[in-house]
Amino acid sequence: MDTVVLVAETRDGSPIGHVLEMCAAARKLASGVTAVVWGEGAAAAAPFLGAHGVTRVCDVGDIGDALPPPRVAAAIAGEIDRGGVDAVFAAATYDGRDIAARLSARIDRPVITNVVGLELEGDSLVSSHSVFGGSQLVRARFTGAGPAIFVLRAKSFASEEVGGPPPEVASASIGELAETDAARIVARHAESRSGPSLDDAKVVVSGGRGLGAPEHYALIEELARLLGGAPGASRAIVDAGWVPYAYQVGQTGKTVKPSVYLAFGISGATQHLVGMKGADHIVAVNKDPAAPILAIADLGVVGDVHQVLPKLVEAIKAKS
């Protein structure tokens, strides 16, 4: 393949980990890897992206208070117009998915989501998709005219530094966007969160509806803190408003791959399992012996979360 274009989201001037994974996936398939970046100072990430195999950076520049999707999709469409683009990769993040969707309708190409593997078979791209909580793997061939747009699941490809040279940096051509670009951010609210992020944590401690009440989530946070990990949550308690959306582990939340995943009061709906079954070790505590999560755990405890969780917290405190 000639070129893959990456939707390269950065945070505080550095590409998010998922982008580096996409670099590795793209490099294995194509000779050229173009990263489209946006935001003030994002182009400074170019040398780092180069080290991960990016050969060209297309910089949208500072977007001020606009939402990224219309402008970034326009920039990618501009890269496609230059020729040679066979595929576009986006990360399954808030903005990544919206950018892929904007681009899809703009250039009339489908978005292929939930991708956990990609390979070339002859001239066509074959993607693998983990479905039904990861119990089944679907392989599908893209049959249309390119470029195809793929939304990749986090932690499906290993990032790898290859020591490439700094890539050329070009300014994006955006063109006229009219009404599509009319939304503006008037205030930003960041919730303070201490400890490692869900993406990077070596230990993730998650709670679900089995906790019984929102106030019991405090013990999940305490255990996560004691273990130097990050607290997570099932969709059920996010939907119920106990914790913010950013805590959600699962198909529509974060995909985590920690060394140890501890699940309390989570039954293990397919929605949740797909986001955490890549953990090296899993411990699950649930009062229902038929809870699906027990079947994938290294240690499944059939028991009362309100007994096991406080005792575990106390025992760890006593140890330290």
Partner 1 sequence: MDIAVCTKQIPGPDVPSAFDESTKTLMRSGALVLDDSDSYSVEMALRLAEQAGGGEVILVSMVPDGATAGLRTALAMGAARAVLVSDPALAGSDALGTARVLAAALARTGAELVLCATESSDGYTGTVPVQLAELLGIPAVTFAKRVELDDTGVRVERQTEAGYDEVVCPLPAVVTVTAGVVEVRYPSFKGIMAAKSKPIETLSLADLGVDPALVGVLGARQEVLSIEAAEGRSAGTIVTDEDGAAHERVLDLLVTWGVL
Positions in 162-221 near partner 1 (CB under 8 A) = 178-191, 202-203
Stated as kind and residue range, the H or E segment containing 105 is helix 94-107
Going 145 to 93 to 36 to 1, the CA torsion angle's sign is negative
Residue 111 engages partner 1 in binding (rule: CB under 8 A): yes
Residue 143 engages partner 1 in binding (rule: CB under 8 A): yes
CA–CA dist 221, 205 (Å, integer): 8
Residue 313 Cβ vs partner 1, minimum distance, rounded to whole Å: 9
| Residues of span 3-32 touching partner 1 by CB under 8 A | 11
Considering only residues 20, 75, 220, 227, which one is a binding residue for partner 1 as defined by CB under 8 A? 227
**Applying CB under 8 A, which part among 20-28, 48-56, 167-175, 252-260 lies near partner 1?**
252-260
Residues in CB range of 9: below 8 A, 6 or more apart: 15, 16, 18, 19, 91, 93, 95, 96
At 313, list the tokens: 């917290």
**Applying CB under 8 A, which part among 29-37, 164-172, 214-222, 242-250 lies near partner 1?**
242-250
**Applying CB under 8 A, which part among 38-46, 54-62, 153-161, 254-262 lies near partner 1?**
254-262
CA–CA dist 95, 90 (Å, integer): 9
CA–CA dist 5, 150 (Å, integer): 10
311 alpha-carbon distance from chain centroid: 33
Residue 118 engages partner 1 in binding (rule: CB under 8 A): no
Residue 56 Cβ vs partner 1, minimum distance, rounded to whole Å: 25
Site string for partner 1, 287-316 (x = CB under 8 A): --x----xxxxxxxxxxx--xx--xx--xx
Q: Which of 17, 62, 9 is nearest to 36 (CA)?
A: 9
Residue 97 engages partner 1 in binding (rule: CB under 8 A): yes
Residue 120 engages partner 1 in binding (rule: CB under 8 A): no
Question: Residues binding partner 1: what is the number (CB under 8 A)?
Answer: 94
Residue 239 Cβ vs partner 1, minimum distance, rounded to whole Å: 3
CA–CA dist 76, 69 (Å, integer): 10
Residue 274 Cβ vs partner 1, minimum distance, rounded to whole Å: 9
How many CA atoms within 13 Å lie on the side-chain side of 185? 9
Characterize 25-37 residue by residue with b for buried, 16 or more Cβ atoms within 10 angstroms of its Cβ, and e for exposed: bbbebbebbbbbb
Q: Based on CB atoms, which residue is closest to partner 1, 21 or 98?
A: 98
Residue 162 Cβ vs partner 1, minimum distance, rounded to whole Å: 28
Stated as kind and residue range, the H or E segment containing 10 is strand 10-11
Residue 164 Cβ vs partner 1, minimum distance, rounded to whole Å: 28
Residue 158 Cβ vs partner 1, minimum distance, rounded to whole Å: 17
At 93, list the tokens: 């993040």
